[in-house]
C-alpha cells in the first residue's frame, strides 16, 4: 500500500469501527434494558425496536450510494453520520419504547456504509483492495468482540440511555475523522457518465455477490439466535461467553494474512469458495451437536465460522467494487449494502421463528441448505482482472464514456 492508501484505509476503518462499536455495545443488553421502559413488556415491540435499524438501513443504502456518485462521497458520509448521531441522542433521551423505536429508526437512516465503502474503493488500487476491505472487516469483528466484554459493564454503570449517548459521541468523532483525516475523494472527470441504478441491477456478477451478502448475514444473525443458549447448555455462564468469542475472533484474524498472499498468486476464487464451504461445514457441525453441545466443539466451530466470515467480509465488497463500473460504484455498493442490511433483518426474524418452530437443529439445517445454494450459485464466478494503476482505471472510464 502507498502512504495515501494506508491513510485512507486506516481512517475509513476507524469510521466503521467507531460507528459499529456504538451499535454493538447496545445489542447484548438491549432486550433486558428495554424491558424497563413503558411498553417494554411487549416482546414484539422490543424486537421491532431492535430490528428496525436494519430495515431503515436497507431502505436507504441505495439512495445514499446514488447520492455519493452524484454529490460526492464525503458530503454524503457526513450527512449520514449527522442523522445517525441525531438518532442516537434521540434514543438516549427516550422515556418510553415508542421513542426508543423512533431513535433506532433514525440511527438506521444514517446509512453510510455504501458511501464509505465506495470512497475506500476510489482511493485504493485493485491489487490492495482486499487488504483495505479486510482492515474494515477486522475492525468490525474486533469491535464486536470488545462489545461483548464491555457492554454489560457499561450498561451497569450508565444504562441503555448512556450507551446510546456514547454511540452519538462516537458518530461525532467519525465526522471529525472524515473531515480532517480521510484523504480527499478523487476528482471525477466531466466526461465520465453518472451512476445509474438500472446499470447495476442487470449486472450478473454483481447480483451474485448481492445474493451472497444477503445469505452471509442472514446466516450470521440466525446463528446468534441459538448459539448463546448452546454455550449456556455446554456449561458456560452468559456473562463469560466473551471467553469463547474473543479468542476465536482474534484467532481468525491471523488467518487473514494468508488471504492476501493467495490473492496475489491468483487464488482469490478458490479462497472465496473455500470460505463459503467452511461456513457450510460449520452449520452442519452445529446441526450435529445441537442436542448435546460441548464447549470445546462450539469454540472450534466458532473459530472456523469467523475464519470464513472474515474472509468473505473482506473479499465480497472488494469484488463488488472491482466489478462495478467506476461511475456507478456508489450505486452498486448501495445495492450490495441494502442486501446486507436486509439479510440482518431476515436472519433475526426468520431465525427466531425457526428456533421456536423446529428448534436449533432445524435452524442450522436451514442455514446449511442456504449456504449450499450460495456455494452452487458462486461456483461459476471469475475473479476480475486487477487494474494496478490509476492510468488503467482512467483509461477504462474514458472508454466507457
Domain 195-381 sits in CATH at 1.20.1250.20
Dist. CA 20–CA 139, nearest whole Å: 9
Of 1.10.150.120, 1.20.950.20, 1.20.1250.20, 1.10.240.10, which CATH number belongs to 1-182? 1.20.1250.20
Sign of the alpha-carbon dihedral angle for 149, 286, 369, 260: positive
Q: Where are the domains of the chain?
A: 1-182, 195-381
Question: Residue 390's pLDDT is what?
Answer: 42
pLDDT digits (tens, 9 = 90+) for 69-128: 888 889 999 999 999 999 999 999 988 888 888 998 898 898 888 788 888 888 888 777
Angle at 58 between CA 311 and CA 386, to 5 degrees: 40
Query: Is the pTM here over 0.85, yes or no?
Result: no
Question: Residue 258's pLDDT is what?
Answer: 67
Question: Residue 369's pLDDT is what?
Answer: 96
pLDDT digits (tens, 9 = 90+) for 130-153: 677 767 766 776 777 677 778 777
CA distances for 12 relative to 146, 182, 231, 336, 394, angstroms: 19, 7, 34, 18, 23
Question: Residue 302's pLDDT is what?
Answer: 92
Low-confidence ranges of the chain (pLDDT < 50): 189-192, 388-401
Question: Residue 264's pLDDT is what?
Answer: 67
**Cell numbers standing for residue 152:** 454489560
Contact 136, 112 (CB under 8 A): no
SS3 198: helix
84 Cβ contact partners less than 8 Å away, ≥ 6 residues apart: 19, 106, 107, 109, 110, 112, 171
Q: Do domains 1-182 and 195-381 have the same CATH topology?
A: yes
Amino acid at each position: 500500500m502507498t502512504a495515501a492508501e494506508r491513510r485512507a484505509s486506516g481512517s475509513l476503518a476507524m469510521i466503521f469501527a467507531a460507528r459499529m462499536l456504538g451499535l454493538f455495545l447496545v445489542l447484548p443488553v438491549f432486550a433486558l434494558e428495554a424491558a424497563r421502559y413503558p411498553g417494554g413488556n411487549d416482546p414484539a415491540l422490543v424486537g421491532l425496536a431492535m430490528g428496525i435499524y436494519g430495515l431503515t438501513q436497507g431502505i436507504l443504502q441505495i439512495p445514499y450510494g446514488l447520492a455519493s456518485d452524484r454529490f460526492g462521497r464525503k458530503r454524503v458520509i457526513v450527512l449520514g453520520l449527522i442523522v445517525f448521531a441525531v438518532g442516537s441522542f434521540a434514543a438516549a433521551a427516550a422515556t418510553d419504547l415508542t421513542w426508543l423505536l423512533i431513535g433506532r429508526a433514525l440511527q438506521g437512516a444514517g446509512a453510510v456504509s455504501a458511501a464509505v465503502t465506495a470512497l475506500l474503493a476510489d482511493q485504493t488500487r485493485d491489487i490492495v483492495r482486499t487488504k483495505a476491505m479486510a482492515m474494515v472487516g477486522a475492525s468490525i469483528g474486533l469491535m464486536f468482540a470488545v462489545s461483548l466484554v464491555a457492554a454489560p459493564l457499561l450498561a451497569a454503570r450508565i444504562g441503555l440511555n448512556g450507551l446510546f449517548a456514547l454511540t452519538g459521541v462516537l458518530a461525532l468523532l467519525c465526522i471529525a475523522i472524515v473531515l480532517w483525516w480521510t484523504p480527499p475523494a478523487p476528482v471525477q472527470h466531466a466526461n465520465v457518465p453518472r451512476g445509474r441504478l438500472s446499470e447495476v441491477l442487470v449486472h450478473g456478477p454483481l447480483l451474485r455477490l448481492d445474493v451472497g451478502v444477503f445469505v452471509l448475514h442472514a446466516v450470521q444473525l440466525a446463528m446468534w439466535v441459538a448459539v448463546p443458549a448452546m454455550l449456556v447448555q455446554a456449561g458456560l455462564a452468559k456473562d463469560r461467553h466473551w471467553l469463547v468469542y474473543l479468542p476465536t475472533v482474534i484467532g481468525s484474524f491471523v488467518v487473514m494474512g494468508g488471504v492476501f498472499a493467495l490473492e496475489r498468486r491468483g487464488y482469490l476464487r478458490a479462497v472465496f469458495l473455500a470460505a463459503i464451504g467452511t461456513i457450510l461445514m460449520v452449520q452442519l457441525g452445529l446441526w450435529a451437536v445441537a442436542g448435546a453441545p460441548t464447549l470445546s466443539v462450539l469454540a472450534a466451530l466458532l473459530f472456523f465460522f469467523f475464519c470464513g466470515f472474515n474472509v468473505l467480509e473482506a473479499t465480497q465488497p472488494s469484488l463488488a467494487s472491482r466489478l462495478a463500473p467506476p461511475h456507478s460504484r456508489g450505486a452498486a455498493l448501495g445495492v450490495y449494502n441494502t442486501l446486507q442490511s436486509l439479510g440482518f433483518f431476515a436472519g433475526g426474524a426468520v431465525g427466531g421463528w425457526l428456533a421456536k418452530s423446529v428448534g436449533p437443529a432445524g435452524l442450522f439445517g436451514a442455514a446449511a441448505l442456504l449456504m449450499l445454494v450460495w456455494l452452487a450459485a458462486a461456483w461459476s464466478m471469475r475473479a476480475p482482472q486487477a487494474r494496478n494503476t490509476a492510468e488503467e482505471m482512467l483509461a477504462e472510464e474514458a472508454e466507457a464514456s
